[in-house]
Amino acid sequence: MPHTLPAQPGMALADVDTPALLLDLDAFEHNLQRLNESLAGRKLMLRPHAKSHKCPQIALRQIALGAVGVCCQKVSEAEAMVEGGVPDVLVANEVVGAAKLRRLAALAKQAKVTVCADDAGNVRDIDAAAREFGVTIDVLVEVNVGANRCGVEPGEPALGIAQAIAACKNLRYAGLQAYQGGAQHLRKVDERRAAIAAAVDGVQRTLALIAKAGLPRGKVTGAGTGTYLFEAASQVYDELQVGSYIFMDADYAKNDWTESGIPRFEHSLFVWTTVMSRTRPDVAIVDAGLKASSVDSGMPRVADFPQAEFLKASDEHGVIRLNGASGFALGDKIRLIPGHCDPTVNLYDHYVCVRGARVEALWPITARGAVW
């Protein structure tokens, strides 16, 4: 129940009941540091994606270490970030419909707000909302650089939207949103490098047309944990939107990182679970299933017991084949590494932040469920 806290600061981790979402603060802080080190000497803005963590406490730590603000994927997520003290949010996504656009424009009274567009009619709707609230909103053109989700094609179609933005009195054309989401989980370094090279090519063609049309350059923003050093090296991207680096989930860990230059981020996010049934040899049932760890990108991994395998999740149970691993007595608590961090975080109301074997803090996930 939402009003029940999963732990208290000062508690021993062993006493934290399960399932709970653990954030290992040493690993988390190490990841923040390694990202900064990997970008040292480059003139790039960092704008981490808050859809991964949904937590102002984390956003403010990223900003304290130099980030210019955060990305969000939904207006409600942006509202939670601004309410939590974040002064600058980019909704790295389209916002469609009068009700949402009114909330976006109202938010622009309280914080710096930027949004993306890929449709001229939508651009006019954003302009109308901005006029109603007496604000000027920065708008980026979302360019489809290979993810084949939202966004217009590079070149003339992107220029068309840029011109539509520039023609609106209450909007400012602010540049290009060029996130290659399809590249992030390609396993081989060369595949990821090639996908970003193609994205850079589309961005450059678009920038040339935009310059020729007399529009300001604006910024180019994009990149994820799987590829960000390639965008950083491109001389074309100005801002990086990495999200998962703070947590490093089981799916990202399957990428080949050798010779990518990208640091080995550590797993910092865990699902804490109890062995709740041990009636069959070599099988342990744990109390974490689909409602405790998202399985869209594969099953969680069993941390600390490399040979044990999480086979199957039902609503409230996980089935682990031990493959001879010892431990796993009834009542034992173990850590799982989630398959996919973002939707797993969205299942919880708090991070139980641990340092070593002790709870140091509870950080509320205030944008949990903020999908609209």
What sign has the CA pseudo-torsion 87, 84, 66, 179? negative
| Residues in 58-87 at the binding interface with its own copies, rule: CB under 8 A | 73-74, 76, 79-80, 83
Amino acid at 299: M
Shortest Cβ 67–its own copies spacing (Å)? 20
| Residues in 153-192 at the binding interface with its own copies, rule: CB under 8 A | 153, 157, 181
Which of the stretches 22-30, 34-42, 206-214, 344-352 binds its own copies when contact is defined by CB under 8 A?
344-352
Residue from 274, 298, 309, 360 in contact with its own copies (CB under 8 A) = 274
Instruction: Indicate the residue among 265 and 348 with the shorter CB distance to its own copies.
Output: 348
User: What whole-number distance in Å separates Cα of residue 27 and Cα of residue 303?
Assistant: 14
| Residues in 281-340 at the binding interface with its own copies, rule: CB under 8 A | 285, 287-288, 290-292, 294-296, 313-317, 319, 330-331, 340
Let me know the angle formed at the C-alpha of 265 by 288 and 234, rounded to the nearest 5 degrees: 130
Residue from 22, 27, 51, 174 in contact with its own copies (CB under 8 A) = 51
Instruction: Indicate the residue among 32 and 92 with the shorter CB distance to its own copies.
Output: 92
Can you tell me which residue has the tokens 């950083």? 232
Shortest Cβ 73–its own copies spacing (Å)? 4
End-to-end CA distance of the chain: 22
User: What whole-number distance in Å separates Cα of residue 329 and Cα of residue 352?
Assistant: 24
Instruction: Indicate the residue among 232 and 250 with the shorter CB distance to its own copies.
Output: 250
User: What whole-number distance in Å separates Cα of residue 354 and Cα of residue 344?
Assistant: 18
Instruction: Indicate the residue among 240 and 295 with the shorter CB distance to its own copies.
Output: 295
Residue from 187, 188, 254, 280 in contact with its own copies (CB under 8 A) = 280
Can you tell me which residue has the tokens 């594969």? 298
Kindly provide the residue ranges of all beta strands, DSSP E only, lying in the chain, ordered along the sequence. Answer: 20-24, 45-46, 70-72, 88-94, 112-117, 137-142, 171-177, 219-222, 239-240, 269-277, 283-286, 301-302, 309-313, 318-321, 333-337, 350-355, 358-364
| Residues in 83-122 at the binding interface with its own copies, rule: CB under 8 A | 83, 93-97, 99-100, 118-119, 121-122
Residue 144 binds to its own copies (criterion: CB under 8 A): yes
